[in-house]
Chain A
Amino acid sequence: MSSSPEKLVYMANQIGKFFQSQGHDKAVPGIAEHIKKFWDPRMRKQIFAHLDTGGAGLDPNVLEALTTLKKA
């Protein structure tokens, strides 16, 4: 589990799972903010690149959060 996109997808989904129980409307901004605050730029760049190729494996809330974060 050490090559990049899979690991980052896994980490992003882990964050997503925490916010899940707060409902979609709180979860999406919560996930976006968490990733913005704690991930270094190269990790964000990599996950955005993965998003561009379809974002396989990302849970729906996470996918949505990353999409808004990328636009911001």
Chain B
Amino acid sequence: MSLIQEIDFGTPRSKSEAMVTLTIDGQSVTVPEGTSIMRAAMKAGTQIPKLCATDMVDAFGSCRLCLIEIEGRAGTPASCTTPAMNGLVVHTQSERLKKLRKGVMELYISDHPLDCLTCAANGDCELQDMAGAVGLRDVRYGYEGENHVFAKSGGAPNAAWMPKDESNPYFTYDPSKCIVCSRCVRACEEVQGTFALTISGRGFDSRVSPGMSESFLGSECVSCGACVQACPTATLTEKSVIEIGQPEHSVVTTCAYCGVGCAFKAEMRGEEVVRMVPYKDGKANRGHSCVKGRFAWGYTTHKERILKPMIRERIEDPWREVSWDEAFNFAAAKFKGIQAKYGRDAVGGITSSRCTNEETYLVQKLIRGGFGNNNVDTCARVCHSPTGYGLSQTFGTSAGTQDFDSVEDTDVVMVIGANPASAHPVFASRLKKRLRQGAKLIVVDPRRTEMVESPHVKALHLPLMPGTNVAVLTALAHVIVTEGLVDEAFVRERCDWSEFEDWAAFAALPQNSPEATAIMTGVNPKDLREAARLFAIGGNGAIYYGLGVTEHSQGSTTVIAIANLAMATGNIGRPGVGVNPLRGQNNVQGSCDMGSFPHELPGYRHIAGDTVREQFEAMWNVKLNPEPGLRIPNMFDAAIEGTFMGLYVQGEDILQSDPNTKHVVAALSAMECVIVHDLFLNETANYAHVFLPGSTFLEKDGTFTNAERRIQRVRKVMTPLNGYADWEVTIMLGKALGFDMKYNHPSEIMDEIAALTPTFAGVSYAKLDELGSVQWPCNEKAPEGTPVMHIGGFVRGKGKFIITEYVATDERTGPRYPLLLTTGRILSQYNVGAQTRRTGNVVWHAEDRLEIHPHDAEQRGVRDGDWVRLASRAGETTLRALITDRVAPGVVYTTFHHPDTQANVITTDFSDWATNCPEYKVTAVQISPSNGPSEWQKSYEEQARHSRRIAPAEAAE
């Protein structure tokens, strides 16, 4: 193994299709028009010396190191800013160029410390490389003069010197090493889109500075690390590199945080991760990442990780560490006992959206084949199950229609109930880049999110009341239908015309107009009409949506309404358009694909279908139950009722992530055996009898499938600290239960998936190694996968319009609960925070806060930072208030990253009509001043503390 070196072409790729041919150092090179001479030379294998250019950002032409000579032209132009043209004859090396370059380097080095040997970038410094490349042998200017290098000059303090900024938990900024090449500034602007950095001052005085001479931590910086990656020197450097040293080998793998699915190089020293660097060939992220994937991997070796299996008879007992065998036998005996006593259907399991496809597949196989029932569900239940239902009804597949590259061809983007800047940051960066090129943005969200207003982005915002999505979408449809903006040719060709007519007649009803629905939705009808027109006729229109769409009692209806809108405007089936669910966790898409739902086998095929079921029966050598099993909320109800007594949970913290915590606590407490398979003693584990230690994404092989249906490899870079990868643990648990599953490597599991699932038929580890990634469907018809779906026709045949009537949720405000609570997430923390809370990311979000409008706060005598009591019909909790007009009067907002807050004590168990996806996004609440944690929080805390005890190990024999 060696360190993967990606070629830096110096300037970005040109997308032009016209080609030009020129001669560089006697070699003929053909490149797309608009390519720089620097890039063309690199293509021909000649690396022109450079400092201020790198291919992640546009050229700036400031360092003057990349000079060349062009025959017939005077002077020595910079190759990074000079475009290649037909017939040019270029020389990259001559006596004149050598002399000029040496001169440039001499100046740089004369104002740069010479402590290369002890510098963190030693071996990975472009300044060092260039000094070598130009043959710099001595520096004529001394250090006595003006410089940025020394704190003191001639005994007096040096005004030009600046101390290190170590405020960011993951990287340092050492201004004394800065060569002011501005690569960091351009990376922050062009790649990340945050505009946190500027070059202040001019000439010798110019400095890189975050914001107005703030610290990195105190500035707008979101710690994506793009600037660190762009920096050619040690000025911006990962703290891990400073601590450990330079990596010696690297392995390409996939981020385990969110559904963007960024590809990374895990840069290693032995089995220690030195840093994670986004991989340029990653087709989801194209070389960019966010703070979580790049930096927040410290949890993988956190001291709180549980590495030994543990068991206990009762949840009141302390945990007892045991051998793996003892744990498996204990669990198997319990499960068999439960099934003997309460029946075969009294146990079940939950698959993880954080684990690999292969692991998820095995858990559902164990449940269907080993437990002998279909009581399998997954956390997608609580996030994107309505997506599966809605899109399969209308289009015929349960997934988004595009790849992320598609956004580069979009003219109008509608973002509904999603805050990509927080939850899908790399997608947000790619979207913002497109918006800066002139695409238009419509945001439908109760809250004025970061997307609505950010540097160089101004959205048309439709701030709706939580719970009125369907009314707003139908009003958009109303405008499109009644103003004659329907793409009739598309609808006639691709969709069922009579269903369309029914739907259009419904949408056109006067009660669905923006004016008539404004009372419920709170959206200004004028803005809504403008948005509808813009979306219908503004060019390629794409819809991206998130949990703000699905987590409602009408979640599935909303997804259908989105699909209707896309079909009516002809925005399906080519790059730049489409319907795109932004999936929460890294492998939500994959866990759904792998048959995690109780009624569906892998590939979304109903368990009642004999042909498909028989294929699985033949392959697994077991009879399968043809009846759908219980969904997570149904499992809880059945537990309380006494018919569901055993649960195997892999990699999910259902207690913290599911709504109505008290109900979940009651259900878990009622069960006789709960097996938690996870990295940490999570909240669910407080109610568990068996704890099986899990492994991290760094410790196993497998695949994740991101929100674009892209299947990407996860590669093992270190031995599992707990001894076994999760797929091995599931196999051993199955064995103890008498259900044999034999695989030597996850690739064999994928082969089985491919053999049983038509959309995966062409997928294999060999193909993934060859192509990097593929998007399903990947089979004979599409051997390299399918970036854009429904080209030329819908998967289900004709696109199906379905009427979407607005039904107000039964969760209503009233005199006792006058405010509407809606929930969300923030950038630096992830989901229930089990991982991110165990990393340096806590500096950005130490606690969950309640956002409240100044008007509502004043009425209740609440000041910024005060503790407030937040109560709903389901329960109450306390947290601190944050007064802001991001939320409208009448609406409050919080995140749910910290167990202490217990935001889900508040949420009710209302759910989506079709899928039982819980209604997280609307809860009627009241707020009042408070002195501190509620009784429930205190008793919960006490129970958790009690339950987490681990008995001291018995003396060795």
Contact = CB atoms under 8 A, between A and B. Distances in A.
B803 A21 contact: yes
Interface stretch (B299-307, B519-527, B630-638): B630-638
A18 B807 contact: yes
A14 B628 contact: no
Secondary structure type dominating chain B contacts: loop
A17 interface: yes
Nearest to B807: A17
Contact of A37 (B506, B556, B606): B606
B641 A21 contact: no
A22 B803 contact: yes
A42 B345 contact: yes
Given A14-B553, A37-B628, A41-B627, A21 B805 contact: yes
A42 B374 CA distance: 12
Contact of A40 (B375, B663, B807, B908): B375
B913 A11 contact: yes
B598 A40 contact: yes
Interface in A51-68: none
A14 B914 CA distance: 8
A37 B599 contact: yes
A41 B640 CA distance: 17
Interface residues of B, number: 34
A40 B630 contact: yes
Nearest to A14: B913
Nearest to A44: B627
B287 interface: no
Secondary structure type dominating chain A contacts: helix
B641 A4 contact: yes
A15 B628 contact: no
**A1, A38, A43, most chain B CB atoms within 10 A:** A38
B643 interface: yes
A2 to B, nearest CB: 6
Interface residues of A, number: 21
Interface in A1-40: 1-4, 7, 11, 14-15, 17-18, 20-22, 34, 37-40
B557 interface: yes
Nearest to B607: A37
Given A14-B553, A21-B506, A21-B805, A42 B643 contact: yes
A43 B641 CA distance: 12
Contacts of A37: 599, 606, 608, 628
B578 interface: no
B100 to A, nearest CB: 73
A2 B909 contact: yes
Contacts of B375: 40
B914 A18 contact: yes
A14 B912 CA distance: 8
**B663, B803, B913, B914, most chain A CB atoms within 10 A:** B913
A5 B600 CA distance: 26
Interface string B562-602: 00000000000000000000000000000000000011000
A40 B637 contact: no
Given A2-B637, A17-B807, A39 B628 contact: yes
Instruction: Give me the 3 closest cross-chain CB pairs, A-B, nearest first.
Output: A14-B913, A21-B805, A21-B803
6 contacts: A2-B909, A4-B637, A4-B641, A22-B803, A37-B608, A40-B345
Interface of A: 1-4, 7, 11, 14-15, 17-18, 20-22, 34, 37-43
Given A22-B802, A37-B599, 19 more contacts: A2-B637, A2-B640, A2-B663, A11-B916, A17-B807, A18-B556, A18-B805, A18-B914, A22-B803, A37-B608, A39-B628, A39-B634, A40-B345, A40-B375, A40-B634, A42-B630, A42-B638, A42-B643, A43-B630
